[in-house]
Structure 1
Amino acid sequence: MGLAERRKALGYSQEKLAQLLGVDRTTVGRWESGRIEPQPPQRRGLANALEVTLIELDALLTQPTAASQEATGHQSSDHPGAGDPDDMIRRELLRILTVSGALTALPLDEAEALTEGVRRGAPSGSLRMNSHQWQVYQLARSKGSVYPVVRDQLATLNEALAAGNRGNSRPLLHAAADLFQLAGEVAFDANRYTDAAASYALAASVSKDAGAFDLWACALVRHAYVDMSDQRYRQATQLLSLAERLAGRGDSTLATRCWVAAVQAEACAGMGDLNGCERALDQAEKVTELTEDSVNGGWLRFDGSRLAEERGARYVQLGRLDLAEETLKGALQQTELASGQSYRRRGSVLTDLAAIGAKRRDPEQVVAYGREAVQLAQASSSGYVARRLQALCDEFGPLSKDHRVAELGAEIATLSTP
């Protein structure tokens, strides 16, 4: 029996179950189809609603069923139909993998899918097409809004890869690896961890074929975030170790090594290793010694502007609350003064400050910062901020009895991740 069958056995429609849990109906549909998994705070409520234990719930979740026809006889909108953007992106990714794999098997004098066709403008400059989309993604309040653009760029790149038959294939392979990472970022923000991991793995594979060590390292760093989202910090350190070695073979003028170090600091903090965390943060600080050309605004954006936020968040993980609060308040002021800062970034800092309040058992601090973060999550539809807030609920403990904190928890429960 799968999740949908258990729901129906209890007489619940998707709408009714969603209402009980404070989520969108489409979220329930995605759980049932196996496209996303409930977050830890949602799992407890879902198990109670379905009258099963958490172990029994895990068994139900391992048997996803296709979204079913509801009583009306119409196809449920949570079914990934022909026009579903997630499904379209996956199909384009598979096409590119097939074509790029074939290209790497061709002799260099028989493959011109690269520079020649692209430089003469057909099809529309694939070597430049990604940088603008990264900028759009970075500035978009709702990351899901980038789906159609990514899908179109994937289709364009697919045509470019298939168009020629002579020349060096590396420039287009580089572009493909770049775009795989962007597709992974969109999936990760939407809580589609499996899709994100697949995109990052493809990016790493194509980067290897292109001989792009920095791009390859960045793909592994992003893949490590998938592990860390499930608190698998030791597994993440294995990927980060490989990324560190690859970055060492890359361009020393780029910020790749510094970004690897910043993420290693997060993994160390997750394992409670203060000394390792501090060493990694010090290494990450070396980004300030690099030139403006050390980042590209796309797959490598680590310029040191978020170092205060990174350090503050690591101190929260390690329980160094005084250090964390001082650092994060400074970072919050920076997000207020700087123009064009993303809701995701500010929401993350606010959530960390709320977490400090929870650890101190200070309901006023939890509510003050938590509510503002909720508002940003609602305005941006950011799955990342919503995930951070859902994790915050696990920190409430006895504070949940405070009606203000309970109301905040209820608001967080209504947040829908894309």
Structure 2
Amino acid sequence: MSRRRQRLIQRRKTLGFSQEKLAFAVGVERSTVVRWEGGEREPRPWQRPKLARVLEVSLDELDEYLASQVNEEPDAERLVFALRNPAAVDLVTVAHLAERVQHLTAEYDTAPSASLLADAGHCHSQVTLLHNFAPAGRIRRELCISTAESATLMGQLVWDASQRRDHAVSVQYFDQAISAAREVRDPILEAHAQLRKGFVALYGTKNTREGLRLCNETAMVGRPASSVLTGLGFLHVGEAYAMLGERRACEGALGAAEESFARIHKDDEAFHMFSPTQFDRLAGSCYLFLGVNHRAEQILTRSARSLVRWRKSQSIVLGNLTLAYIRQGKLEEACGTLHEAIDLIEETRGGGGLNIAFTGGRELAPWRHEPWVQEISDRLFALMAT
């Protein structure tokens, strides 16, 4: 049974750190902090001095925090009681669920979506039930936040696990997240769910004008609170314009995104959603849509090699780079990057990368009798079968 380091968690909260901010201060991923606190992993020897300094404790005290684990069973008992008596839910139970949502969210970029779906769905149903019965006040506010976060995660997982086919259910989850975020007037959570809803329009239903509207709205909602979400909104506005073939408007939106990213501060609440590779990733996609394939190749090549930690995103970039190569007749290069993309898709089962890989496979159809194309086709067929 998992044993969580409650004293370590409490020390972090006492100093006012979120998991994201502690991870940034120590120089690790948020998922690493989640695993430290969950008792799943030990800080490496070279990480301990910096972690101790950030938490303002001695190394001996840090060892005590790491050694002091509390079985999750008491929290589980509280949760069972709260689910049977929703109006009696307390802050300890709410915090337990919030940590669970954050843990699952941290796993999203590394684990196959289908493998997370059952746990995330179970957690979301618990959060939603308690939210529906919670009295006004702090408890309801905290449950609103968890509802928005878990609904956004569920929308992402359902869409990925369905290989970006189940648009309606995903949008229902994103709408639930937006509603919960608006209840507590949280522009970060609202803009994030709005952005994800925009992705469904852009890449799922192919309603580019609706995607453009939703991504513009993301930028407007996020602007007062987060340069990260404002920049991400403008990035996808640029991509929508590129899909429509409007290069000038696309480059204007990319410029607005770049300006927003230049204003990012580490205290931005959405800082964990930002990576320095995002601009190149989307700019490369834009030039691919605009048919400027040599420019897309330059940008995507640079981006692909910088995305080692973000496996699902890297598979999408490699898929797009494959398309840029094919459209320039660089078939040997296309073969290499498509195999790399498939390697990552086999690991993560990311729906975005999978769809682009199949597009690459279709564009290689004129060379289908070549042995190397047949090998790629076999790998894509195996992905489809599983």
TM-score normalised by the chain length of structure 1: 0.64
1:333 and 1:211, CA in 2 relative to 1: closer, same or farther beyond 3 A? same
1:256-267 alignment, distance < 5 Å: 256-267=229-240
1:247 to 211, 222, 238: 222
1:139 to 97, 110, 134: 110
Deviation at 1:221, TM superposition (A): 1.2
Q: Is 1:269 the equivalent of 2:269?
A: no
Q: What RMSD in Å do the two structures reach over aligned CA positions?
A: 2.6
Q: Is 1:284 the equivalent of 2:257?
A: yes
Structure 2 equivalent of residue 365 of structure 1: 333
Say if 1:361 and 1:399, in contact at 8 Å, map to a contact too: no
1:19-418 alignment, distance < 5 Å: 117-119=89-91, 121-140=92-111, 142-161=112-131, 164-168=134-138, 169-190=140-161, 191=163, 192-229=166-203, 230-248=205-223, 250-251=224-225, 253-285=226-258, 286-296=260-270, 301-336=273-308, 341-396=309-364, 398-416=366-384
Provide the secondary structure at the position in 2 that maps to 1:312: helix
1:159 and 1:327, CA in 2 relative to 1: closer, same or farther beyond 3 A? same
Q: Structure 2 CA distance, aligned partners of 1:279 and 1:118?
A: 49
Residue 314 of structure 2 aligns to which amino acid in structure 1?
Answer: R
Q: Structure 2 CA distance, aligned partners of 1:379 and 1:350?
A: 14
Provide the secondary structure at the position in 2 that maps to 1:354: helix
Q: Structure 2 CA distance, aligned partners of 1:228 and 1:167?
A: 38
Provide the secondary structure at the position in 1 that maps to 2:305: helix
Say if 1:200 and 1:222, in contact at 8 Å, map to a contact too: yes
Q: Which moves more between the two structures, 164-173 or 317-326? A: 164-173
Q: Structure 2 CA distance, aligned partners of 1:123 and 1:206?
A: 15
Residue 264 of structure 2 aligns to which amino acid in structure 1?
Answer: L
Say if 2:231 and 2:256, in contact at 8 Å, map to a contact too: yes
Say if 2:316 and 2:353, in contact at 8 Å, map to a contact too: yes
Residue 250 of structure 2 aligns to which amino acid in structure 1?
Answer: C
Q: Which has the higher helix share?
A: 2
Residue 209 of structure 2 aligns to which amino acid in structure 1?
Answer: R
1:162 and 1:223, CA in 2 relative to 1: closer, same or farther beyond 3 A? closer
Provide the secondary structure at the position in 2 that maps to 1:292: coil
Q: Structure 2 CA distance, aligned partners of 1:233 and 1:166?
A: 39
TM-score normalised by the chain length of structure 2: 0.69
1:145 and 1:222, CA in 2 relative to 1: closer, same or farther beyond 3 A? same
Q: Structure 2 CA distance, aligned partners of 1:164 and 1:247?
A: 28
Provide the secondary structure at the position in 1 that maps to 2:109: helix
Q: Structure 2 CA distance, aligned partners of 1:390 and 1:352?
A: 11
1:350 and 1:417, CA in 2 relative to 1: closer, same or farther beyond 3 A? farther
Q: Structure 2 CA distance, aligned partners of 1:224 and 1:135?
A: 22
Provide the secondary structure at the position in 1 that maps to 2:363: coil
Deviation at 1:295, TM superposition (A): 4.3
Deviation at 1:164, TM superposition (A): 4.2
Q: Structure 1 CA distance, aligned partners of 2:291 and 2:167?
A: 28
Residue 332 of structure 1 aligns to which amino acid in structure 2?
Answer: A
Matched positions, count: 296
Q: Structure 1 CA distance, aligned partners of 2:227 and 2:324?
A: 34
Provide the secondary structure at the position in 1 that maps to 2:174: helix
Deviation at 1:126, TM superposition (A): 3.7
Q: Structure 1 CA distance, aligned partners of 2:134 and 2:174?
A: 26
Deviation at 1:265, TM superposition (A): 1.4
